[in-house]
Amino acid sequence: MSEMKPRTLFEKVWDQHLVASPAGEPSLLYIDLHLVHEVTSPQAFDGLRMAGRKLRRPDRTVATVDHNVPTSSVQDRLVIADQIASRQIDALRRNCAEFGVELYDVQSREQGIVHIIGPELGLTKPGMTIVCGDSHTSTHGAFGALAFGIGTSEVEHVMATQTLPQDKPKTLRITVDGELPYGVTAKDIVLHIIGEIGTAGATGHVVEYAGSAIRALSMEGRMTICNMSIEAGARAGMIAPDSVTYSYLMGRRFSPQGAAWDEAVAHWSSLATDDGAAFDRELVIDAATLTPTVTWGTSPGMVTGIESTVPLPDPNASEADRKGFERALEYMDLKPGTPMEEIAIDRVFIGSCTNARIEDLRAAAALIQGYKVATTVRAMVVPGSQSVKAQAEAEGLDVVFKTAGFDWREPGCSMCLGMNPDILAPGERCASTSNRNFEGRQGRGGRTHLVSPVMAAAAAIAGHFTDVRKWEFKGGAGR
């Protein structure tokens, strides 16, 4: 056997998908799975039609509707009042029919947010290359896939060639070792990382998350972390597949079965980063130091611990950074030094491709059992998919949420980006389990604070941010 140079998880997946490596040009990377949704695809399908090109591999292409669909009621989804949104969804239906792409439409039992249904159906598997015209495609990296978001020109490129020209990214390993303290979740890990390295901290890199705290996470938690890799600027986030991954995948609709399963596990197990493989950068985090984390500003890197305050300006910051800091405080209507626990909220959103999986809903439901949503707060839960919704209803979680005063809705991207009727009013302050707190992201003038599902649930009850580590569970289903 020849001596192979030790390789990282990313390098192995990259090497296995190289179609061509022309000198002086980007490499041509084969794409195993292309996920499509209504917002970033119509111009790509049009491009194919105009050039007289075919969609090369409909069998490697899957579509759903998520960004635009109303979440208020089944009826509202069948006849969409917003004519422009309706036209875009109709365009996807026509395009999928014309080009032979399977579409999980609104009435499908498998419809949901694209990054939630891929894993649920077993379409997402370790060692694959996965792209989608959506930056949160990094979610699928939780399975050890190389998954990243692309623009519409690239969507068209993948449709026509099933490949993408790509410059090889650099690698960054973030090792989170130790045991997560009580009340601290995967969301807090990733918010902490973004706070530490900044929203451009991983630009040009593929991040591999490693360490005992990552290993101890469920697939849901791992997906939350990989999902927000893009918020640190990363091209993708990845976690090596292990027994947790295999348990999740076993028996899924499109997972291998029988002898093929064993063969698949053998292949997947060969993907982990070799001992001695080199990363361009390394970062080590001690899990024991983490606390429940809240964003205070208008960028996902503007974070602080729940026990802390809105930060004071950094005297050493550059002019542009100082302006950004002041602008964020003004937009958020906050003053430096204000304790986070004193910030009152108007809305709560539990949902999105970051935190709308069954584990997220279970954790939030356990916390609110026996409590009522504060009279000053409007709270909603938007399951990530029809499957999540059905599972939650089978477990009675919908009843827990509704009894507490939460609005229980139909699956979709909803208020994560407010392309649908779910938006904040100007000035409203929201505790949100989503991924972006940009100005106007959840509605013009809306103020978003990113938190974990349990922190959002606790804020809904208390009417202000509150430390979940001090929470008194009433339902007996605590922790």
Partner 1 sequence: MIAINELTSIAAPLDISNIDTDQIIPKQFLKRIERTGYGEFLFFDWRRIQEGPDTGKPDTSFALNDPSYTGAKILIAGKNFGCGSSREHAAWALTDFGFLAVIAPSFADIFFSNAGKNGMILVRLSEEDVNLLTHRSQKNPQHKITINLEAQTVTDDEGFSGTFEIDPFRKYCLLNGLDDIGLTLRHEAALDAFETKHDGEFWSSPRVTA
Contact letters (x/-) for partner 1, 78-117, by CB under 8 A? ----x-xx-xx--x--------------------------
Q: At residue 465, what are phi and psi to the nearest 5 degrees?
A: -65, 140
Contacts with partner 1: how many residues (CB under 8 A)?
89
Beta bridge partners of 469: none
Q: How far is the CB of 327 from partner 1 (least distance, A)?
A: 7
Which residue, 51 or 79, has its beta carbon nearer to partner 1?
51
Tell which positions 409-428 bind partner 1, by CB under 8 A. 417-419, 426
Whole-number Å distance between alpha carbons of 318 and 314: 9
3 makes contact with partner 1 (CB under 8 A): no
- Binding range to partner 1, per CB under 8 A, among 51-59, 282-290, 360-368, 453-461: 51-59
163 is a site residue for partner 1 (CB under 8 A): yes
Helix axis angle for 386-394 and 114-121, nearest 10°, is: 70
Residues near 243 by beta carbon (within 8 Å), at least 6 away in sequence: none
Distance in Å, CB of 67 to partner 1, minimum? 8
Does 394 interact with partner 1 (rule: CB under 8 A)?
no
Return d(Cα 243, Cα 31) in angstroms, integer.
25
Burial code (b: 16+ CB inside 10 Å, e: under 16) for 425-443 equals: eeebbbbbbbbbbebbbbb
Q: Does 30 bind partner 1 (CB under 8 A)?
A: yes
Least spacing, CB of residue 394 vs partner 1, in Å: 26
269 lies in the site for partner 1, by CB under 8 A: no
Please name every residue paired with 206 in a beta bridge, in sequence order, or none if there are none. Answer: 171, 236
Span of 130-138, 173-181, 342-350, 396-404 interacting with partner 1 by CB under 8 A: 130-138
Contact 188, 293 (CB under 8 A): yes
200 touches partner 1 by CB under 8 A = yes
Query: For residue 314, what are its two tokens?
Result: 């950094």
Answer for which of 46, 76, 196, 341 binds partner 1 (CB under 8 A) is 46
For residue 421, the number of C-alpha atoms closer than 13 Å in the C-beta half-sphere is: 14
3 state SS of 162: coil
In sequence order, the 6+-apart residues with CB closer than 8 A to the CB of 106 are: 65, 69, 77, 78, 89
> Applying CB under 8 A, does 1 fall inside the site for partner 1?
no
Distance CA(225)–CA(215), nearest Å, equals: 12
Distances (CA, A) of 53 to 307, 374, 461: 57, 56, 54
Cα–Cα distance measured from residue 283 to residue 244, given in angstroms and rounded to the nearest whole number: 24
To the nearest whole angstrom, how small is the minimum distance from the Cβ of residue 161 to partner 1? 5
Task: Report the residue from 36, 55, 96, 128 that binds partner 1 according to the rule CB under 8 A.
Answer: 128
> Which of 91/477 has CB closer to partner 1?
91
Only one of the segments 32-40, 184-192, 393-401, 454-462 lies at the binding site for partner 1 (rule: CB under 8 A); that segment is 32-40
Q: Which residues contact 79 (CB under 8 A, 6 or more apart)?
A: none
Q: Which is nearer to partner 1, 122 or 463 (CB)?
A: 122
Q: Does 208 bind partner 1 (CB under 8 A)?
A: no
Cβ at position 74, least distance to partner 1 in Å: 21
Shortest separation between residue 105's beta carbon and partner 1, angstroms: 17
> Which stretch, 280-288, 371-379, 438-446, 466-474, contacts partner 1 (CB under 8 A)?
438-446
Helix (H, G, I), strand (E, B) or coil at 33: strand
Helix H segments across 333-472? 358-368, 386-394, 397-404, 453-462
CB 109 within 8 A of CB 447: no
Report the alpha-carbon distance of residue 114 to residue 133 in Å, rounded: 10
Nearest distance from C-beta of residue 308 to partner 1, angstroms: 22
Query: CB–CB of 40/153 below 8 Å?
Result: no
Min CB(450)–partner 1 separation in Å: 13
**Under rule CB under 8 A, residue 60 binds partner 1:** yes
In the complex, minimum distance from the CB of residue 17 to partner 1, in angstroms, rounded to a whole number? 8
Contact region for partner 1 (CB under 8 A) — 52-60, 104-112, 365-373, 393-401? 52-60
* C-beta closer to partner 1: residue 68 or 309: 68
297-336 residues near partner 1, rule: CB under 8 A = 299, 318-321, 323-324, 327
Q: Which residues contact 46 (CB under 8 A, 6 or more apart)?
A: none
Q: Does 256 bind partner 1 (CB under 8 A)?
A: yes
x/- binding map, residues 338-377, to partner 1, per CB under 8 A?
----------------------------------------
